[in-house]
Amino acid sequence: MMMCRRCFGALALWAVMAAVALAAAPYKALIVDGQNAHDWKSTTPVLKRLLEETGLFTVDVATSPPRGADMGGFKPNFAAYDVVVCNYQGDPWPEETKRAFVEYVNSGGGVVVYHFACAAFPDWKEYNEIIGLGGWGRRNEKWGPYVRWRDGKIVRDMTPGRGGGHGPAQEFQLVVREPNHPITRGLPKRFMHVKDELYGWLRGPAKNLTVLATAFAPKEKGGSGEHEPLLFTVRYGKGRVFQNALGHTAEQLKSVAFIVTFQRGAEWAASGKVTQPVPDDFPTAERASVRE
Ligand code: ZN
């Protein structure tokens, strides 16, 4: 086939740009959604964009059939990805899909558990171990302890009671409890988040769990009166799991506290390291910041 010089030039430029794009995005991410008592249809596109704008990820989305429909054909190829972002809460996955997910994490896959994904699959033992702490779905003391920060250390509290809850949406301050983790390294010790649900009373097996940041949930604002873990990691087999309890709707995903911890957490889950600098608009101890 003959090709004019200009066409050839355009093709060559396209090839170079494609190669640059590939080189610039070393990790493959998969967002799983399709059912959720939350508005997953408006949050997934934001999560996708936040991952892509780091230049580190190409992003696919696996959307399950709707609630009550046959899930038999829902078989995302988890093994093809470096990180799976869970924005799913709903009907159980097929056994084959559950096995593939556990095998993916066990063999070194990364997972980001976003907000209400901590309420998914209460009766799936391995999922509870992978996410470390969860809420709702009848969870109670049989699922494991509450994990709280008391008197300068992490405490596992077996007091009977519900798993999962929150008061009315409020602004709150996150406090870094593990400043030497790649996700939190370089962040200020204290930083504000926008008006959002402050998740509390999460409980689960909490094995191999590292609390990165907590927020105090005042009783007078519907909270537990405890420092609740909102950012934490779990080691499951060779896999890295990061849970980010922030972000009730797309509005809360404008919070730079969410954006930066989500982006850094996803990179860490995918690779075990974080190369992203802390941006200049990161919130302070007194003031939340947002990106429109
Ligand atoms: Zn919510």
Residue 201 lies in a domain: yes
Expressed in angstroms, the distance from the first to the final Cα of the chain is: 48
For residue 191, report the distance from its CA to the centre of ligand 1, in Å: 20
Domain count along the chain: 1
For residue 6, report the distance from its CA to the centre of ligand 1, in Å: 53
For residue 252, report the distance from its CA to the centre of ligand 1, in Å: 10
pLDDT of residue 2: 52
pLDDT of residue 144: 98
For residue 24, report the distance from its CA to the centre of ligand 1, in Å: 33
Q: Identify which of 147, 184, 161 has the alpha carbon closest to the alpha carbon of residue 268.
A: 184
> Is the confidence at residue 3, as pLDDT, over 80?
no
Residue 290 lies in a domain: no
Judge contact between 210 and 232, C-beta under 8 A.
Answer: yes
For residue 107, report the distance from its CA to the centre of ligand 1, in Å: 31
pLDDT of residue 231: 98
For residue 248, report the distance from its CA to the centre of ligand 1, in Å: 4
For residue 154, report the distance from its CA to the centre of ligand 1, in Å: 25
pLDDT of residue 24: 75
For residue 3, report the distance from its CA to the centre of ligand 1, in Å: 56
Q: Give the Cα-Cα-Cα angle 85, 127, 73 (nearest 5 degrees).
A: 70
> Is the confidence at residue 7, as pLDDT, over 70?
no
Residue 19 lies in a domain: no
Specify the pairing of strand 170-176 against strand 209-217. Answer: antiparallel
For residue 224, report the distance from its CA to the centre of ligand 1, in Å: 17
pLDDT of residue 166: 97
For residue 89, report the distance from its CA to the centre of ligand 1, in Å: 12
| Mean per-residue pLDDT of the chain | 94
pLDDT of residue 128: 98
For residue 37, report the distance from its CA to the centre of ligand 1, in Å: 8
Look up residue 134 and give its amino acid.
G
245-274 average pLDDT score: 98
Task: Name 137's bridge partners.
Answer: none
Rounded to whole angstroms, how far apart are CA atoms 233 and 235?
7
pLDDT of residue 83: 98
Specify the pairing of strand 209-217 against strand 190-196. Answer: unpaired
Residue 276 lies in a domain: no
Helix (H) or strand (E) holding 271: helix 256-271
For residue 78, report the distance from its CA to the centre of ligand 1, in Å: 26
Helix (H) or strand (E) holding 30: strand 27-33
Judge contact between 23 and 55, C-beta under 8 A.
Answer: no
* CATH code: domain of residue 121: 3.40.50.880
pLDDT of residue 1: 47
Residue 11 lies in a domain: no
Residue 246 lies in a domain: yes
For residue 171, report the distance from its CA to the centre of ligand 1, in Å: 14
Q: Percent of the chain having pLDDT more than 90?
A: 91
Look up residue 163 and give its amino acid.
G
> Is the confidence at residue 229, as pLDDT, over 90?
yes
pLDDT of residue 21: 53
Rounded to whole angstroms, how far apart are CA atoms 147 and 156?
5
Helix (H) or strand (E) holding 44: helix 40-52
> Is the confidence at residue 110, as pLDDT, over 50?
yes
Enter the pTM of the model: 0.92
Residue 15 lies in a domain: no
Residue 236 lies in a domain: yes
70-89 average pLDDT score: 98
State which residues form the domain around 118: 27-271
For the segment 10-39, what is each residue's pLDDT rounded down to a tens digit? Answer: 666 566 555 555 567 999 999 999 999 999
Specify the pairing of strand 239-244 against strand 110-114. Answer: parallel
pLDDT of residue 107: 98
